[in-house]
């Protein structure tokens, strides 16, 4: 099984990672090219480009100036412990045993505007570059064009025939993958909550549920779609009537 998730805007480079093992990202040359473009942008231009506050523009300008290869444990951190958003709260990688982290390393991939595709233990430095950012890089008008088929090609190299591919990423990030070129079909879990008597996708809950689903897969060594339907963390249950071959809907 392979799983893709989105990164997070919130980062934690203060808390020490529970393990010292690390790997290096496959797209560091490309990340370096993006870094070179970002380094030239002023705090004001970064704020305008990313629709962020002046304070965040300053913060990310400094991050861009500090960004440099090679990555070591002294100047970088393993991705799954560096991201801090709702998905990662649900996943709670800090509480995984070392053998489970090894399983996570085999199964999970994190999509990233800056780094393309990260394994959980790939080192990264602080950044902010969402996939939907219209950053021009050479002749490429945006990050979707910049990454083009490269992320899909790497996923295909990693995927075995008939392996289950689970999309737990947001639409913004999953758009960088080209499903028609993948060697296996995509299964997308969807999480809905009852609110005022109606089923809705509530962003905060859905993001956390994606992380919970990753944790469920790792906790239970899930390898097939049928077992995926058993997901029951924090009150969710599979709804056969709302689901189809491509979308598995879980409600609570």
List, in sequence order, every beta strand (DSSP E) within the chain.
Answer: 2-5, 77-78, 108-112, 116-118, 123-124, 165-168, 186-195, 198-200, 237-238, 247-251
Give dist(CA 215, CA 78) in Å, integer: 18
For each successive 10 residues of the chain (252 residues), what is the average pLDDT? 98 97 98 98 98 97 98 98 98 98 98 98 98 97 98 97 96 97 97 95 97 98 97 98 98 97
Q: With a threshold of 0.85, does the pTM exceed it?
A: yes
Return the pLDDT at 85: 96
Q: What is the DSSP string of 124-185?
A: E------TT----BTTB-SHHHHHTTHHHHHHHHHPPTT--EEEES-HHHHTTS-GGGSSS-
Closest C-alpha among 15, 18, 10, 1 to residue 213 = 1
Residue 211 CA from chain centroid, whole number: 10
How far is 69 from 67, CA to CA, in rounded Å? 7
Separation of alpha carbons 252 and 240, rounded Å:
13
List, for residues 56-104, the tens digit of each pLDDT value.
Answer: 999 999 999 999 999 999 999 999 999 999 999 999 999 999 999 999 9
Separation of alpha carbons 109 and 101, rounded Å: 13
């Amino acid at each position: 099984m392979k799983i893709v998730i989105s990164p997070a805007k919130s980062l934690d480079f203060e808390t020490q990672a529970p393990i010292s093992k690390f790997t290096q990202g496959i797209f560091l040359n490309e990340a370096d090219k993006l870094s070179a473009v970002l380094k030239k942008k002023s705090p004001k231009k970064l704020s305008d480009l990313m629709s962020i506050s002046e304070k965040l523009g300053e913060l990310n300008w400094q991050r861009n100036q500090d960004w440099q290869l090679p990555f070591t444990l002294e100047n970088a951190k393993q991705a799954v412990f560096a991201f801090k958003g709702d998905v990662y709260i649900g996943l709670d990688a800090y509480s995984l045993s070392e053998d489970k982290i090894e399983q996570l390393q085999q199964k999970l991939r994190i999509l990233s505007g800056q780094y393309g595709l990260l394994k959980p233990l790939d080192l990264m430095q602080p950044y902010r570059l969402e996939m939907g950012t219209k950053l021009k890089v050479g002749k490429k008008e945006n990050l979707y064009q910049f990454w083009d088929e490269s992320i899909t090609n790497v996923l295909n190299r990693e995927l075995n025939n008939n392996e289950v591919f689970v999309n737990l990423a947001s639409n913004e990030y999953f758009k960088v993958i080209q499903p028609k070129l993948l060697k296996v079909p995509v299964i997308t879990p969807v999480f809905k909550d009852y609110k005022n008597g109606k089923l809705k996708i509530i962003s905060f809950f859905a993001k956390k549920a994606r992380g919970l689903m990753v944790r469920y897969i790792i906790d239970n060594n899930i390898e097939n779609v049928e077992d995926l339907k058993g997901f029951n963390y924090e009150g969710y249950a599979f709804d056969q009537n709302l689901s189809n071959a491509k979308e598995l809907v879980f409600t609570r």
